[in-house]
Amino acid sequence: MHALGRFGELAWFSLPTEINPKHGYHQVPYLGWRYTTPREGLAEYIEGAVRTLPTEVDWSLDTTRRNWLLVPTRILRDAQGLTNPAFGDVVHFINTQDQDFCLRALSDFRLIIQHLERLELPRN
């Protein structure tokens, strides 16, 4: 992913597809990645950049684990965190029961990626 690779070498990256290939519904977007050597202050820089955008849903950057995750805050709140086994169930429920939310989040996600692609690189 070019937008994130601008800030450092990516060791790992994951992004679900926008539309479920089997059932055809839109899926709530979230982005997971890991830098080989994350720069000090980079998480805060990315999080601050996302917060400046006029998004339709709230977004959170979770860096508490090895992989960073940019995800709609609703998922973290409803699943009560990333480590809860209910995380996947919450994502599935939103995907199948709240297409409006998925579409708003997808619109936000495109805006976030475009913003990260144009964002000035931090100095340090």
Tens of pLDDT, residues 36-84: 998 899 999 999 999 999 999 999 999 988 999 999 999 999 999 888 8
CA 69 to CA 16: how far, in whole Å? 12
On the 0-12 / 13-18 / 19+ scale of CB atoms within 10 A, 109 is buried
User: Do residues 39 and 68 lie in contact, with contact meaning Cβ atoms separated by under 8 Å?
Assistant: no
In this predicted structure, what is the pLDDT of residue 123?
Answer: 77
Contact call for residues 70 and 31 (beta carbons, < 8 A)? yes
With cut-offs at 50, 70 and 90, classify the pLDDT of residue 124.
Answer: low
Predicted pLDDT at 75: 94
> What percentage of residues in the chain have a pLDDT greater than 70?
99
Of 41, 48, 34, nearest in space to 4 by CA: 34
Tell me the DSSP string of 69-83: EEEEHHHHHHHTSTT
SS3 62: strand
- pTM of the entire predicted model: 0.91
Residue 40 has, within 13 A of its CA and on its CB side, a CA count of 1
Predicted confidence (pLDDT) per residue in 13-34, tens digit: 998 889 999 999 999 999 999 9
For residue 58, how many C-alpha atoms fall within 13 Å in the half-sphere facing its CB?
6
